[in-house]
Amino acid sequence: MFHNLAQLIRYRGLIQSLVARELKARYRGSMLGFFWSFINPLLLLLVYSFVFEFVLPNRSPEKPYALFLFCGILPWTWFSASILEASGVLISGGNLIKKVLFPAEVLPIVTVLSNLVHFLFGLPILVAFLIYYRRPLEFPEVFWFPVVLLTQLILTTAIALIVSALTVHFRDIKDILGNLMTFWFFATPIIYPLTGVAKGSLARTLLNLNPFTHLAVSYQELMFYPGDPPGPFGHSRGLLILLFASIGLFLAGYFLFDRLRDSFADEV
Amino acid sequence: MFAIEASGVTKVYRRFSNRRQFATLKSALLRGTVFRDLHPAGTFAAVRDVSFKVPQGTTYGIIGRNGSGKSTMLKLVAGITKPTEGTVRVNGRISALIELGAGFHPEISGRENIFINGIMLGLSKREIARRFDEIVEFAELRDFIDAPVKTYSSGMYVRLGFAVAINVDPDVLLVDEVLAVGDEAFTHKCLDKFAEFRRRGKTILLVTHALNLVEKFCDDVLWLDGGGIRGEGDPRRVVSEYITDVAKAEEKDLAARDARERERVSQSVPTAGPAGDAAGAPPEPPADMFKAGEGRWGSREVEIVDVRILGADGAPRHVCQSGEPATIEMTVRARQPIEAVVFGVSMFNADGVCCYGTNTDIEDLEVAGFSGEQKVTFRIKSLDMVEGTYKLDVAAHRVDGYPYDYHRQLYSFRVMSNAKDIGIYRPPHTWEFSAGIGARGRTIEN
């Protein structure tokens, strides 16, 4: 397993060019091309802000709500799109697995990374909003941002590996996942603040068990509530626990993937 | 030094039953068999205990009928699937021409696909850049290299895949029946490339049905049958053993087909009453006899009860060698003494063209009447026909054409030939040259 994991570094050139291919292919033939990477999150943002500022105005405790929402939705999109795509990626890439000597784990990793690129493309929009609302970022709190990103990357990759490997054997995971991700979205403080849930309540406990809660809260704290509370990054403990848990999950996920690897060529 | 060493390789595949094929997570959870379902239950061995060694720098062929495990063996050597038992060791870089262009993405250009495909096959970006022109040149795609691959024809697609794979510069090249792509010129180019590989001391593992290629190119041949080894060694010997075996199988197949055909005809045509009972209306012959398909008609006053094709050795067979003697033997029966009768035979090729037809009347033979069971033999001194499958008509009728028993294309036989000449008739011939022309090779001695 660790041998294979080390091999992965040799494939970085392959991963890199596959991510580039993925991104090029996605918008090939569309008129706006790469701009869709910007426009998609922007449109999503418009829909949510419209609903929560005009249709349900009382339900939006955080102002400006659009910005609050965006801090959570942008990373969530990366997370959920990666996992949903990863569930089908071994099957749709079956040609590669069956006919070419090809390290299968590259496929889910490429999915996660190409969605990461989309996420990064969405960041400038977030920055533009920050400037528009004249919200300052607090240094050195901002330097936690890469840690949050890394944690999410490891967590997402871990889940993507598990989901992609299991879907080969149980095709209906793909269908279950669609609903599960919707549920997961609402079970994460993205459209509502965590502080809105009473401390010590069962709901709060459950939310705390949801790994993405800590990511969403971290993003919100860095970009939406800088300096509130003032001083260093307030959620660092939760985030670091999640980081280590994610590394553990990644190793477990990779172990599972490695165990099932030999069956892919026969089952896809 | 061996380039490929396979020892005791067995590959077992899961065989899907109906229930298992639709195994889902839900049902697995409900039955508590999540982990058991990840292991095979019903199994099927595609390759069974196969061992062979390929010395470095040689060309090794694998032949065998469909489903004999050739492609599985190749995938095992390529490392795409792992053997259930045994080991496969390969020394050096492998490139597999198995599925050409399997990693191409249809939306992006040929240029970008060359790079990505090359990286997948283990090249670095710089290596690909260096070989890029050569690849494009080889694929004959200079004008289209910047067009998305989805606009390529299937030939262009495969050519590009071939060009990339062959330019990986492997130590071991695995080839699976890919020479069928492209036109003649491209095939020649591929063969030249293989020859160049051989010259440079690379190892080639070739899986193919093109036996002449095997004889020409391979140093050694492995013959797989039903997943196991049937023969190994000198290409000429193994190939000829293989051909003999295929002929035997074909023989069985043709015999079964003929039997089925006769079964069908005898069911659809009720036998016309007791012999001589003209009241039992004989099945009508079709309006245009020469366009009719398989069938049987006639009054059955004379019945052809059995037809056999005999080879040179007098044994019944369905596969004959071109140029060798053959005999058509009919067993006929007249339940009541019959007056004059005419026997006929004709042969049709797969296109339905009558290659030869004759009868005793045309050849001025007066066949006297007979009764009881008799034999009629049609002896061919030399079956000078080109390779192919032929169908046979046999008939017994009255001099005026009134049919007693007409068997329309109910018997088939296959003619095998070493030469792949064309047409419907092979006149016995030889080639001769004046002293100024040197000629080598096999010649057909007839």
Tokens 């599985």 belong to residue: B72
Tokens of B396: 């017994």
pLDDT number for residue A80 = 94
| pLDDT above 70: percentage of residues in chain B | 85
Amino acid code (one letter) for B405: D
Nearest to B148 among A28, A96, A169 (CB): A28
pLDDT number for residue B290 = 56
B81–A contact, CB cutoff 8 A: yes
Listed in sequence order, the residues at least 6 apart from B436 whose beta carbon sits closer than 8 Å to its beta carbon are: none
Q: Do A102 and B103 touch (CB under 8 A)?
A: yes
Q: Which of A150-159, B242-251, B371-380 has the lowest mean pLDDT?
A: B242-251
* Measured torsion, CA atoms of residues A53, A59, A61, A67, in degrees rounded to the nearest 10: -40
pLDDT number for residue B277 = 40
State how far Cα B211 lies from the chain centre.
10
B105–A contact, CB cutoff 8 A: yes
The residue ranking higher by pLDDT, B270 or B96, is B96
* Measured torsion, CA atoms of residues A80, A82, A88, A93, in degrees rounded to the nearest 10: 170
Cβ pair B50, B228 in contact under 8 A: yes
Q: Do B25 and A170 touch (CB under 8 A)?
A: yes
Q: State the Cα–Cα distance between residues B371 and B337, nearest whole angstrom.
A: 4
CB atoms under 10 Å from CB of B259, counted, come to 11
- B180 pLDDT band, cuts 50/70/90, is low
What's the pLDDT tens digit per position in B109-157? 889 889 888 888 778 888 899 999 999 998 888 899 999 888 988 888 8
Tokens of B431: 């080639």
Q: Do A100 and B103 touch (CB under 8 A)?
A: yes
The answer to whether the peptide bond before residue A124 is cis (omega within 30 degrees of 0) is no
Sign of CA dihedral B75, B132, B104, A167: positive
Amino acid code (one letter) for B259: A
Q: Is the pLDDT of residue B174 over 80?
A: yes
pLDDT number for residue B38 = 53
Nearest in space to B5 (alpha carbons), one of B64, B92, B111, B84: B92
Q: Based on the structure, what is the number of domains in chain A?
A: 1
Q: How many angstroms separate the CA of residue B183 from the nearest CA in chain A?
A: 24
Q: How many angstroms separate the CA of residue A124 from the nearest CA in chain B?
A: 27
Q: Is the pLDDT of residue B365 over 70?
A: yes
Q: Do B99 and A98 touch (CB under 8 A)?
A: yes
> Which domain range does residue A173 map to?
2-267
Q: State the Cα–Cα distance between residues B229 and B239, nearest whole angstrom.
A: 14
Sign of CA dihedral B46, B52, B57, B62: negative
Q: Provide the CB-side half-sphere exposure for A168 (13 A, CA).
A: 29
A171–B contact, CB cutoff 8 A: yes
Q: Do B120 and A176 touch (CB under 8 A)?
A: no
Determine if residue B261 is left, alpha or beta; phi over 0 gives left, psi from -120 to 50 gives alpha, anything else beta. Answer: alpha
**DSSP assignment of A90-150, as one string?**
HHHTHHHHHHS---TTHHHHHHHHHHHHHHHHHHHHHHHHHHHTTPPPPTTGGGGHHHHHH
Cβ pair A9, B120 in contact under 8 A: no
Look at chain B and count its residues. Answer: 446
pTM of the model: 0.71
Nearest in space to A125 (alpha carbons), one of A250, A39, A1, A235: A39
* Measured torsion, CA atoms of residues A25, A27, A30, A33, in degrees rounded to the nearest 10: -130
Q: How many angstroms separate the CA of residue B67 from the nearest CA in chain A?
A: 16
Q: Do B107 and A24 touch (CB under 8 A)?
A: yes
- B223 pLDDT band, cuts 50/70/90, is very high
CATH number of B2-244: 3.40.50.300
> Which parts of chain A sit beneath pLDDT 50?
none
Mean predicted lDDT score pLDDT of chain B: 82
- With CA atoms as reference, the chain A residue closest to B36 would be A169
Nearest to A172 among B26, B81, B108 (CB): B26
**DSSP assignment of chain A, as one string?**
-HHHHHHHHHTHHHHHHHHHHHHHHHHTT-SSGGGHHHHHHHHHHHHHHHIIIIISGGG--SSSHHHHHHHHHHHHHHHHHHHHHHHHHHHHTHHHHHHS---TTHHHHHHHHHHHHHHHHHHHHHHHHHHHTTPPPPTTGGGGHHHHHHHHHHHHHHHHHHHHHHHHH-TTHHHHHHHHHHHHHHTSTTSS-GGGSPTTSHHHHHHHHSHHHHHHHHHHHHHTSTTSS-SS-TTHHHHHHHHHHHHHHHHHHHHHHHHHHHHHHHH-
pLDDT number for residue B182 = 66
Tokens of A161: 């590996």
Q: Do A98 and B80 touch (CB under 8 A)?
A: yes
CATH number of B294-446: 2.70.50.60
Listed in sequence order, the residues at least 6 apart from A132 whose beta carbon sits closer than 8 Å to its beta carbon are: none
pLDDT number for residue B272 = 42
Q: State the Cα–Cα distance between residues A207 and A186, nearest whole angstrom.
A: 10
A10–B contact, CB cutoff 8 A: no
3-state DSSP call for residue B408?
Answer: strand
Nearest in space to B352 (alpha carbons), one of B404, B319, B388, B304: B388
Cβ pair A64, B42 in contact under 8 A: no
pLDDT number for residue A166 = 92
**DSSP assignment of B187-203, as one string?**
HHHHHHHHHHHHHTT-E
Tokens 């699976």 belong to residue: B176
**DSSP assignment of B212-272, as one string?**
HHHHHH-SEEEEEETTEEEEEE-HHHHHHHHHHHHHHHHHHHHHHHHHHHHHHHHHHS---
Q: State the Cα–Cα distance between residues B75 and B77, nearest whole angstrom.
A: 5
A262–B contact, CB cutoff 8 A: yes
Residues of A in contact with B107 (CB under 8 A): 24-25, 28-29
CB atoms under 10 Å from CB of B35, counted, come to 8
Q: State the Cα–Cα distance between residues B141 and B127, nearest whole angstrom.
A: 20
Tokens of B266: 């005898």
pLDDT number for residue A111 = 94
Distances (CA, A) of A247 to A159, A168, A221, A252, A254: 11, 24, 23, 9, 10
Nearest in space to B86 (alpha carbons), one of B137, B57, B133, B47: B47
Residues of A in contact with B79 (CB under 8 A): 101
Nearest in space to B348 (alpha carbons), one of B310, B385, B380: B385
pLDDT number for residue B442 = 58
Nearest to A13 among B82, B105, B124 (CB): B124
ipTM, 2 dp: 0.73
Nearest in space to B47 (alpha carbons), one of B225, B193, B199, B195: B225
The residue extents of the domains of chain B are 2-244, 294-446
Tokens of A57: 């105005």
The residue ranking higher by pLDDT, B186 or B220, is B220
* Measured torsion, CA atoms of residues B123, B126, B128, B129, in degrees rounded to the nearest 10: 170
A63–B contact, CB cutoff 8 A: no
Nearest in space to A263 (alpha carbons), one of B153, B121, B81, B116: B81
| pLDDT above 90: percentage of residues in chain B | 15
The residue ranking higher by pLDDT, A201 or B440, is A201
Cβ pair A184, A212 in contact under 8 A: yes
- With CA atoms as reference, the chain B residue closest to A10 would be B122
Q: Is the pLDDT of residue B373 over 50?
A: yes
Helix or strand (DSSP H, E) at B137: helix B125-139
